[in-house]
Amino acid sequence: MDVPGMGPVLEGDKITGGGGASTWRKNPPAGIKIPDGCLPDGPDGTVMIISKVTKVERS
């Protein structure tokens, strides 16, 4: 993913930041859309939401 101000973050990189999680299918956040095919299996579709990245350590 591309993090504004930090550049690309690749698999294996370690990130430090903040955020939370959402049971997307039960309680979708207002104003954000994720296609159902991009959600994990299961009735809740729990996803992690990263709201702020403060540090990236390249692998």
pLDDT per position in the chain (59 positions), as tens? 899 889 999 999 999 999 988 898 888 888 888 888 889 998 999 988 888 999 999 99
Q: Are 59 and 8 in contact (CB under 8 A)?
A: no
CB count, 10 Å around CB of 14?
10
Q: What is the pLDDT of residue 49?
A: 84
Q: What is the pLDDT of residue 59?
A: 92
Q: Are 15 and 53 in contact (CB under 8 A)?
A: yes
Report the alpha-carbon distance of residue 22 to residue 8 in Å, rounded. Answer: 24
